[in-house]
Structure 1
Amino acid sequence: MLTESTITTMLPVTDSARAGHFYTDSLGLTQTGRGEDGTLYFAAGAGAIGLRPMPAGAQSENTALSFEVGDLPAEVRALEDRGVRFQDFETDGLKTVGHIAELGNERAAWFNDSEGNVLCLHEVLS
């Protein structure tokens, strides 16, 4: 059943070595394997992330992946300490303070990986 399946999110990367370093060194994830096509696999929660070699321009301008965390400000600080640069927004519908946007019953912060994929950290508020 799909509701019980482990999910692997596939992200396009143009430089596998650079992307692999970002996901291990900056995000702290553990590489679990390498596919015959060069895809690098990383453990993430109950699923996985696959970094698949693709031509430049395959990255989405929208959020491709979001990590749910329990303490968003602490995670933002920890990733900043590893060199991750967060995006800031100030538009009619979205404003960040300290890189974090309040969105109803959750808050979120966005950053790009080394390949330009938009990633997000989000926290559900009680």
Structure 2
Amino acid sequence: MLKDMEVMAVLPAKDIDRAKEFYRDKLGFEPERTMADGGLVYRCGKGTSFLIYQTDNAGSAKNTQIGWASDDVQRDVDELRARGVVFEDYDMPGLKTENGIASMEGYGQAAWFLDSEGNILNISSMPS
């Protein structure tokens, strides 16, 4: 049953107005809908979407919370940097970024950044 349903990622925000500004100004999103409780729904490609809702728990996860599939990670990193997005650098076993981008055998490229609320987001490509 669930495998045929559309998926919606859910992200926490301590300050929903600050998050709205970040997603608009840095990532180029406008909310598709505002929920009764102030949550914001954003539409992405192929019918996918994500919800941002206000909670004090924002920024506490230490893992990637949402990711976008890219056909050109370098191009997208460059464009997001031009908008003021700062990419994370990692140097650990199995994961090392160079200029914010990791190249992983069998997985393509990936880059991670934090939103205004401390959520870890990423863009990545998968080899065909």
Equivalent residues, number: 126
Q: What residue in structure 1 maps to residue 32 of structure 2?
A: 32
TM-score normalised by L of structure 2: 0.91
Q: What residue in structure 1 maps to residue 17 of structure 2?
A: 17
Q: What residue in structure 2 maps to residue 65 of structure 1?
A: 66
TM-score normalised by L of structure 1: 0.93
Shift of 1:94: 1.1
Identity %: 34
Q: What residue in structure 1 maps to residue 126 of structure 2?
A: 124
CA contact (8 A) 1:33 1:41 kept: yes
Deviates most, 2-11 or 116-125: 2-11
Q: For 1:55, give the aligned amino acid.
A: D
Q: Deviations over 1:4-31 (max 9, x none)?
A: 3221111000111110111111111231
Deviates most, 35-44 or 112-121: 35-44
CA contact (8 A) 1:111 1:119 kept: yes
Q: Deviations over 1:23-49 (max 9, x none)?
A: 111111231011111111111122111
Question: RMSD in angstroms over aligned alpha carbons?
Answer: 1.4
In structure 1, the gaps of 5 or more residues are none
